[in-house]
Copies of this chain bind each other. A is one copy, B any other.
Amino acid sequence: MYDAFAARVLAVRQVRGPLVLGLDPSAAILSSWGLADDAEGLEAFVDVALSAAMDSVGLVKPQSAFYERHGWRGMRALERLVREARAMGLLVILDAKRGDIGSTNAAYAQTYFGEDAPLACDALTLSPYLGLGAMEPFFAAAEATRAGLFVVVHSSNPEGRALQQATGGNGRSVAAKLLEEIGERNARAAGALGSVGAVVAAGAPRTWDLSAMRGLFLVPGVGAQGTTPEDVASTFSSCPARALPSASRSILAAGPDPRRIGASARALSARFGELLTD
């Protein structure tokens, strides 16, 4: 029986630091590593990525889109990546930003959670345009399998800001209301931290009480997207040990030598470890 997701994260964080290594095999990365932009190149990417992540980070985050673009062969490579990473003791956050009506979410939950799930992972990202209330099948599946969820609340891209800052009936923004609803859900769970986390980029409004959410934060956009470790530390100063910063391009650019990628990830994770302590 696994510990709950949040407990697994806090344990691995002690040893490897808080960095989440994004495993995003874009055409640009495959090309810079001398790999073909096809399913075979993707399988070679997976081998290097696993070798680089082992002993350097505690968490990896494959972005599903970069595997899906190679069709079913790409999904087969992603399944192998997730399976082998977990067998190595890495925690896998699958970045798929799924979200639909309840009956469809139940089908997605079967994809990602449970021993028989083809992409059984430690945590999944969700996109909430159809409402948090539609995500009950995800919540139930995650609780039953001791997995985690990260609902996108405050994204790293400027184009999302207008929608996420629109004002709901209670006078709060869409994003603040989501944080509040997640916090209420996590408050009902056993333990200090619940299974539902949020994707919150650095620069989130200072007025938000992030610690009240009682969950973990996945922090996108570090490195290539311009966010610095200091930005992350500043945004999450009320609950630094709950922040999991994620970087992909800036680390993978050190490849294809897995030792160089691993060294780059280790250095950044150590830097974050210093900045993000309670």
A interface with B by C-beta (< 8 Å): 24, 26, 63, 65-66, 68-76, 79, 97-105, 107-108, 110-111, 117-119, 127-134, 152, 155-169, 173-174, 177-178, 220, 225
Contacts and interface: CB of A to CB of B under 8 A. Distances in A.
A130 B159 contact: yes
B26 A107 contact: yes
B163 A131 contact: yes
Contact of A102 (B26, B108, B157): B157
- Number of this chain's copies in the assembly equals 2
A65 B100 contact: yes
Nearest to A78: B72
Given A159-B130, A159-B131, A162-B177, A75 B65 contact: no
Nearest to A157: B101
A79 B75 CA distance: 12
A130 B163 CA distance: 8
Contacts of A103: 26
Contacts of A161: 131
B177 A160 contact: no
**Complex A-B, nearest 7 residue pairs according to Cβ-Cβ distance, in ascending order:** A71-B118, A133-B159, A131-B159, A65-B107, A72-B75, A166-B166, A131-B160
A100 B97 contact: yes
Contact of A130 (B107, B118, B160, B173): B160
Contacts of A118: 68-72, 74
Contacts of A127: 97, 99, 127, 129-130
B71 A131 contact: no
Nearest to A136: B159
Contacts of A26: 103, 107
A88 B267 CA distance: 55
Given A108-B68, A168-B166, A157 B130 contact: yes
A26 B110 CA distance: 11
